[in-house]
Structure 1
Protein backbone atom coordinates (compact mmCIF):
# COMPACT_ATOMS: atom_id res chain seq x y z
CA UNK A 1 0.00 0.00 0.00
CA UNK A 2 1.51 3.38 -0.94
CA UNK A 3 2.36 5.77 1.86
CA UNK A 4 0.22 8.87 2.22
CA UNK A 5 2.34 11.99 2.14
CA UNK A 6 1.41 15.25 3.85
CA UNK A 7 -0.74 17.39 1.57
CA UNK A 8 -1.81 14.41 -0.54
CA UNK A 9 -5.46 14.32 -1.49
CA UNK A 10 -7.52 11.48 -0.08
CA UNK A 11 -9.60 9.66 -2.65
CA UNK A 12 -13.30 10.32 -2.32
CA UNK A 13 -15.11 7.58 -0.45
CA UNK A 14 -18.42 6.44 -1.98
CA UNK A 15 -21.52 7.03 0.13
CA UNK A 16 -22.10 3.34 0.82
CA UNK A 17 -18.52 2.94 2.04
CA UNK A 18 -18.89 5.96 4.32
CA UNK A 19 -22.08 4.52 5.76
CA UNK A 20 -20.46 1.10 6.19
CA UNK A 21 -17.44 2.60 7.94
CA UNK A 22 -19.65 4.57 10.35
CA UNK A 23 -21.82 1.48 10.93
CA UNK A 24 -18.83 -0.75 11.72
CA UNK A 25 -17.43 1.86 14.10
CA UNK A 26 -20.71 2.21 15.99
CA UNK A 27 -21.11 -1.59 16.16
CA UNK A 28 -17.70 -2.00 17.74
CA UNK A 29 -18.34 0.86 20.13
CA UNK A 30 -21.66 -0.69 21.16
CA UNK A 31 -19.96 -4.02 21.90
CA UNK A 32 -17.29 -2.19 23.91
CA UNK A 33 -19.85 -0.41 26.10
CA UNK A 34 -21.88 -3.59 26.59
CA UNK A 35 -18.77 -5.40 27.75
CA UNK A 36 -17.97 -2.60 30.17
CA UNK A 37 -21.54 -2.65 31.48
CA UNK A 38 -21.11 -6.32 32.32
CA UNK A 39 -17.65 -5.74 33.83
CA UNK A 40 -18.85 -3.03 36.21
CA UNK A 41 -22.09 -4.76 37.20
CA UNK A 42 -20.93 -6.65 40.34
CA UNK A 43 -19.18 -3.78 42.10
CA UNK A 44 -20.37 -0.53 40.53
CA UNK A 45 -23.92 -0.88 39.25
CA UNK A 46 -24.24 2.88 38.65
CA UNK A 47 -21.27 2.80 36.26
CA UNK A 48 -22.69 -0.37 34.69
CA UNK A 49 -25.95 1.49 33.98
CA UNK A 50 -24.00 4.38 32.41
CA UNK A 51 -22.12 1.97 30.13
CA UNK A 52 -25.37 0.21 29.21
CA UNK A 53 -26.97 3.57 28.36
CA UNK A 54 -23.99 4.51 26.17
CA UNK A 55 -24.33 1.14 24.42
CA UNK A 56 -28.01 1.86 23.79
CA UNK A 57 -27.07 5.23 22.25
CA UNK A 58 -24.71 3.38 19.90
CA UNK A 59 -27.54 1.02 18.99
CA UNK A 60 -29.77 4.00 18.20
CA UNK A 61 -27.05 5.53 16.00
CA UNK A 62 -26.72 2.18 14.19
CA UNK A 63 -30.47 2.24 13.58
CA UNK A 64 -30.24 5.76 12.17
CA UNK A 65 -27.44 4.69 9.81
CA UNK A 66 -29.43 1.67 8.66
CA UNK A 67 -32.51 3.83 8.08
CA UNK A 68 -30.44 6.27 6.02
CA UNK A 69 -28.99 3.42 3.95
CA UNK A 70 -32.50 2.12 3.30
CA UNK A 71 -33.77 5.61 2.39
CA UNK A 72 -30.89 6.07 -0.05
CA UNK A 73 -31.41 2.55 -1.39
CA UNK A 74 -27.80 1.65 -0.66
CA UNK A 75 -26.69 -1.90 -0.05
CA UNK A 76 -27.75 -3.49 3.19
CA UNK A 77 -25.29 -2.53 5.93
CA UNK A 78 -25.98 -5.57 8.07
CA UNK A 79 -24.92 -7.88 5.29
CA UNK A 80 -21.38 -6.43 5.29
CA UNK A 81 -20.95 -5.34 8.90
CA UNK A 82 -19.58 -7.57 11.65
CA UNK A 83 -22.07 -9.30 13.89
CA UNK A 84 -23.71 -6.96 16.35
CA UNK A 85 -23.50 -9.44 19.15
CA UNK A 86 -20.22 -11.14 19.99
CA UNK A 87 -20.22 -14.87 20.55
CA UNK A 88 -20.14 -16.10 24.13
CA UNK A 89 -16.55 -17.31 23.58
CA UNK A 90 -15.52 -13.76 22.61
CA UNK A 91 -17.26 -12.31 25.66
CA UNK A 92 -15.53 -14.77 27.99
CA UNK A 93 -12.14 -14.22 26.36
CA UNK A 94 -12.28 -10.42 26.64
CA UNK A 95 -14.47 -10.05 29.70
CA UNK A 96 -13.10 -9.12 33.08
CA UNK A 97 -15.05 -8.16 36.18
CA UNK A 98 -13.99 -4.95 37.90
CA UNK A 99 -13.05 -6.04 41.41
CA UNK A 100 -11.33 -3.05 43.02
CA UNK A 101 -10.85 0.71 42.82
CA UNK A 102 -7.63 0.48 40.82
CA UNK A 103 -9.28 -1.66 38.15
CA UNK A 104 -12.27 0.69 38.06
CA UNK A 105 -10.05 3.73 37.57
CA UNK A 106 -8.04 1.99 34.86
CA UNK A 107 -11.16 0.78 33.03
CA UNK A 108 -12.75 4.24 33.19
CA UNK A 109 -9.55 5.87 31.91
CA UNK A 110 -9.50 3.46 29.00
CA UNK A 111 -13.23 3.98 28.32
CA UNK A 112 -12.71 7.75 28.28
CA UNK A 113 -9.78 7.44 25.87
CA UNK A 114 -11.90 5.23 23.57
CA UNK A 115 -14.78 7.73 23.79
CA UNK A 116 -12.49 10.61 22.79
CA UNK A 117 -11.16 8.53 19.91
CA UNK A 118 -14.71 7.77 18.80
CA UNK A 119 -15.62 11.48 18.85
CA UNK A 120 -12.50 12.28 16.82
CA UNK A 121 -13.36 9.53 14.35
CA UNK A 122 -16.85 10.99 13.87
CA UNK A 123 -15.40 14.47 13.44
CA UNK A 124 -13.06 13.18 10.72
CA UNK A 125 -15.91 11.34 9.04
CA UNK A 126 -17.98 14.54 9.02
CA UNK A 127 -15.04 16.53 7.69
CA UNK A 128 -14.67 14.28 4.66
CA UNK A 129 -18.30 13.35 4.22
CA UNK A 130 -19.71 13.77 0.72
CA UNK A 131 -23.28 12.88 1.60
CA UNK A 132 -25.38 15.67 3.18
CA UNK A 133 -27.76 13.25 4.94
CA UNK A 134 -24.86 11.37 6.52
CA UNK A 135 -23.16 14.63 7.46
CA UNK A 136 -26.29 15.71 9.34
CA UNK A 137 -26.28 12.41 11.25
CA UNK A 138 -22.58 12.70 12.03
CA UNK A 139 -23.07 16.18 13.49
CA UNK A 140 -25.65 14.68 15.86
CA UNK A 141 -23.31 11.77 16.64
CA UNK A 142 -20.51 14.18 17.54
CA UNK A 143 -22.75 15.98 20.04
CA UNK A 144 -23.77 12.64 21.58
CA UNK A 145 -20.14 11.59 21.83
CA UNK A 146 -19.14 14.88 23.47
CA UNK A 147 -21.87 14.30 26.05
CA UNK A 148 -20.64 10.71 26.55
CA UNK A 149 -17.10 11.98 27.14
CA UNK A 150 -18.44 14.42 29.73
CA UNK A 151 -20.37 11.66 31.52
CA UNK A 152 -17.33 9.39 31.51
CA UNK A 153 -15.16 12.22 32.86
CA UNK A 154 -17.64 12.65 35.71
CA UNK A 155 -17.65 8.90 36.39
CA UNK A 156 -13.86 8.86 36.34
CA UNK A 157 -13.67 11.82 38.74
CA UNK A 158 -16.08 10.01 41.05
CA UNK A 159 -13.99 6.84 40.91
CA UNK A 160 -10.82 8.69 41.88
CA UNK A 161 -12.66 10.46 44.70
CA UNK A 162 -13.55 7.15 46.37
CA UNK A 163 -11.43 6.80 49.52
CA UNK A 164 -9.26 3.71 49.79
CA UNK A 165 -10.78 0.92 51.85
CA UNK A 166 -8.93 -0.16 54.96
Structure 2
Protein backbone atom coordinates (compact mmCIF):
# COMPACT_ATOMS: atom_id res chain seq x y z
CA UNK A 1 0.00 0.00 0.00
CA UNK A 2 1.59 3.33 -1.03
CA UNK A 3 2.27 5.85 1.68
CA UNK A 4 0.20 9.00 1.62
CA UNK A 5 2.14 12.04 0.62
CA UNK A 6 1.52 15.24 2.54
CA UNK A 7 -0.31 17.96 0.69
CA UNK A 8 2.36 19.99 -1.01
CA UNK A 9 1.26 23.37 -2.21
CA UNK A 10 1.43 23.83 -5.94
CA UNK A 11 4.53 25.66 -7.06
CA UNK A 12 4.24 28.42 -9.60
CA UNK A 13 5.40 27.51 -13.06
CA UNK A 14 7.78 29.80 -14.96
CA UNK A 15 4.76 31.05 -16.93
CA UNK A 16 3.23 32.20 -13.62
CA UNK A 17 6.25 34.21 -12.54
CA UNK A 18 5.10 37.50 -14.11
CA UNK A 19 1.95 37.31 -11.98
CA UNK A 20 3.91 36.67 -8.79
CA UNK A 21 6.65 39.20 -9.53
CA UNK A 22 4.16 41.90 -10.52
CA UNK A 23 2.14 41.34 -7.36
CA UNK A 24 5.22 41.61 -5.17
CA UNK A 25 6.40 44.71 -7.05
CA UNK A 26 3.03 46.46 -6.72
CA UNK A 27 2.84 45.72 -3.01
CA UNK A 28 6.25 47.37 -2.51
CA UNK A 29 5.15 50.34 -4.63
CA UNK A 30 2.01 50.71 -2.52
CA UNK A 31 4.03 50.75 0.70
CA UNK A 32 6.47 53.29 -0.76
CA UNK A 33 3.68 55.66 -1.76
CA UNK A 34 2.05 55.34 1.63
CA UNK A 35 5.34 56.28 3.27
CA UNK A 36 5.75 59.26 0.95
CA UNK A 37 2.20 60.38 1.72
CA UNK A 38 3.09 60.43 5.41
CA UNK A 39 6.37 62.25 4.77
CA UNK A 40 4.71 65.08 2.85
CA UNK A 41 1.66 65.37 5.11
CA UNK A 42 2.90 68.01 7.63
CA UNK A 43 4.15 70.60 5.15
CA UNK A 44 2.70 69.74 1.73
CA UNK A 45 -0.72 68.16 2.11
CA UNK A 46 -1.47 68.48 -1.62
CA UNK A 47 1.56 66.30 -2.45
CA UNK A 48 0.62 63.95 0.39
CA UNK A 49 -2.82 63.51 -1.20
CA UNK A 50 -1.19 62.75 -4.56
CA UNK A 51 1.07 60.12 -2.99
CA UNK A 52 -1.90 58.60 -1.15
CA UNK A 53 -3.86 58.48 -4.43
CA UNK A 54 -0.94 56.77 -6.18
CA UNK A 55 -0.82 54.26 -3.32
CA UNK A 56 -4.53 53.61 -3.79
CA UNK A 57 -3.90 52.97 -7.50
CA UNK A 58 -1.30 50.38 -6.50
CA UNK A 59 -3.83 48.82 -4.15
CA UNK A 60 -6.37 48.67 -6.98
CA UNK A 61 -3.80 47.01 -9.24
CA UNK A 62 -3.15 44.45 -6.49
CA UNK A 63 -6.88 43.78 -6.32
CA UNK A 64 -7.00 43.30 -10.10
CA UNK A 65 -4.09 40.86 -9.88
CA UNK A 66 -5.82 38.93 -7.08
CA UNK A 67 -9.05 38.76 -9.10
CA UNK A 68 -7.19 37.54 -12.17
CA UNK A 69 -5.27 34.96 -10.13
CA UNK A 70 -8.59 33.63 -8.78
CA UNK A 71 -10.11 33.48 -12.28
CA UNK A 72 -7.08 31.65 -13.64
CA UNK A 73 -6.97 29.38 -10.58
CA UNK A 74 -3.46 30.60 -9.82
CA UNK A 75 -4.01 32.10 -6.38
CA UNK A 76 -1.10 29.94 -5.19
CA UNK A 77 1.22 32.11 -7.31
CA UNK A 78 0.69 35.17 -5.15
CA UNK A 79 2.78 35.74 -2.02
CA UNK A 80 0.99 34.19 0.94
CA UNK A 81 2.43 36.22 3.81
CA UNK A 82 1.91 39.70 2.43
CA UNK A 83 0.05 40.86 5.56
CA UNK A 84 2.87 39.69 7.82
CA UNK A 85 5.45 41.40 5.60
CA UNK A 86 3.50 44.66 5.84
CA UNK A 87 3.49 44.47 9.65
CA UNK A 88 7.24 43.90 9.69
CA UNK A 89 7.79 46.75 7.23
CA UNK A 90 5.75 49.08 9.44
CA UNK A 91 7.83 48.17 12.48
CA UNK A 92 11.12 49.03 10.80
CA UNK A 93 10.08 51.96 8.64
CA UNK A 94 11.73 55.29 9.29
CA UNK A 95 9.77 58.30 8.07
CA UNK A 96 11.46 61.53 7.25
CA UNK A 97 9.18 64.52 7.20
CA UNK A 98 9.71 66.98 4.39
CA UNK A 99 10.76 70.30 5.88
CA UNK A 100 11.63 72.60 2.96
CA UNK A 101 11.36 73.02 -0.81
CA UNK A 102 14.82 71.61 -1.53
CA UNK A 103 14.07 68.45 0.43
CA UNK A 104 10.67 68.16 -1.26
CA UNK A 105 12.24 68.55 -4.69
CA UNK A 106 14.89 65.92 -3.99
CA UNK A 107 12.33 63.49 -2.56
CA UNK A 108 10.08 64.00 -5.59
CA UNK A 109 13.07 63.35 -7.88
CA UNK A 110 13.62 60.04 -6.10
CA UNK A 111 9.89 59.25 -6.31
CA UNK A 112 9.96 59.95 -10.04
CA UNK A 113 13.02 57.74 -10.52
CA UNK A 114 11.26 54.89 -8.68
CA UNK A 115 8.10 55.46 -10.75
CA UNK A 116 10.14 55.32 -13.97
CA UNK A 117 11.75 52.09 -12.79
CA UNK A 118 8.30 50.72 -12.00
CA UNK A 119 7.13 51.67 -15.50
CA UNK A 120 10.11 49.86 -17.03
CA UNK A 121 9.42 46.82 -14.86
CA UNK A 122 5.77 46.74 -15.94
CA UNK A 123 6.71 47.15 -19.60
CA UNK A 124 9.15 44.25 -19.27
CA UNK A 125 6.55 42.05 -17.59
CA UNK A 126 3.97 42.89 -20.28
CA UNK A 127 6.49 42.21 -23.06
CA UNK A 128 7.44 38.77 -21.74
CA UNK A 129 4.13 37.63 -20.31
CA UNK A 130 2.83 34.28 -21.52
CA UNK A 131 -0.68 34.60 -20.06
CA UNK A 132 -2.91 36.55 -22.45
CA UNK A 133 -5.27 37.86 -19.76
CA UNK A 134 -2.36 38.99 -17.59
CA UNK A 135 -0.79 40.66 -20.61
CA UNK A 136 -3.93 42.75 -21.13
CA UNK A 137 -3.93 43.73 -17.45
CA UNK A 138 -0.24 44.62 -17.52
CA UNK A 139 -0.81 46.80 -20.58
CA UNK A 140 -3.35 48.79 -18.55
CA UNK A 141 -0.82 49.00 -15.69
CA UNK A 142 1.76 50.43 -18.09
CA UNK A 143 -0.67 53.15 -19.19
CA UNK A 144 -1.40 54.04 -15.57
CA UNK A 145 2.29 54.14 -14.69
CA UNK A 146 3.02 56.47 -17.61
CA UNK A 147 0.38 58.82 -16.24
CA UNK A 148 1.87 58.43 -12.75
CA UNK A 149 5.31 59.47 -14.07
CA UNK A 150 3.84 62.55 -15.77
CA UNK A 151 2.08 63.61 -12.56
CA UNK A 152 5.21 63.17 -10.47
CA UNK A 153 7.29 65.04 -13.03
CA UNK A 154 4.87 67.98 -12.99
CA UNK A 155 4.81 68.15 -9.19
CA UNK A 156 8.59 67.82 -9.01
CA UNK A 157 9.06 70.63 -11.56
CA UNK A 158 6.66 72.89 -9.65
CA UNK A 159 8.51 72.18 -6.42
CA UNK A 160 11.90 72.82 -8.03
CA UNK A 161 10.69 76.18 -9.31
CA UNK A 162 9.49 77.05 -5.80
CA UNK A 163 12.87 75.99 -4.33
CA UNK A 164 14.76 78.20 -6.80
CA UNK A 165 12.38 81.12 -6.15
CA UNK A 166 13.06 81.16 -2.40
Whole-angstrom CA distance in 2 between matches of 1:86 and 1:102: 31
Which 4+ runs in 1 deviate beyond 6 A?
A: none
What is residue 89 of structure 1 aligned with on the other side?
A: 91
Could you tell me whether the CA contact under 8 Å between 1:27 and 1:84 is conserved in 2? no
Correspondence 1:64-143 to 2 at 5 A: 64-76=64-76, 77-79=78-80, 81=82, 83=84, 85-87=86-88, 88-91=90-93, 94-143=94-143
Gaps of 5+ in 1: 1-12
Whole-angstrom CA distance in 2 between matches of 1:64 and 1:14: 21
| 1:140-160 superposed Cα distances (whole Å, 9 cap, x missing partner) | 000000000000011001101
Correspondence 1:12-91 to 2 at 5 A: 14-76=14-76, 77-79=78-80, 81=82, 83=84, 85-87=86-88, 88-91=90-93
Whole-angstrom CA distance in 2 between matches of 1:14 and 1:68: 17
Deviation at 1:75, TM superposition (A): 3.2
TM-score (norm 2): 0.85
Whole-angstrom CA distance in 1 between matches of 2:75 and 2:128: 21
- Tell me which protein shows more helix as a share of its residues: 2
Could you tell me whether the CA contact under 8 Å between 2:23 and 2:65 is conserved in 1? yes
Aligned length in residues: 150
| 1:89-110 superposed Cα distances (whole Å, 9 cap, x missing partner) | 222xx31100111110110000
Once the two structures are overlaid, the 10-residue window that deviates more, 17-26 or 82-91, is 82-91
Give me the CA root mean square deviation.
1.6
Deviation at 1:16, TM superposition (A): 2.7
TM-score (norm 1): 0.85
SS class of match (1:32)? helix
Gaps of 5+ in 2: 1-12
Whole-angstrom CA distance in 2 between matches of 1:107 and 1:26: 20
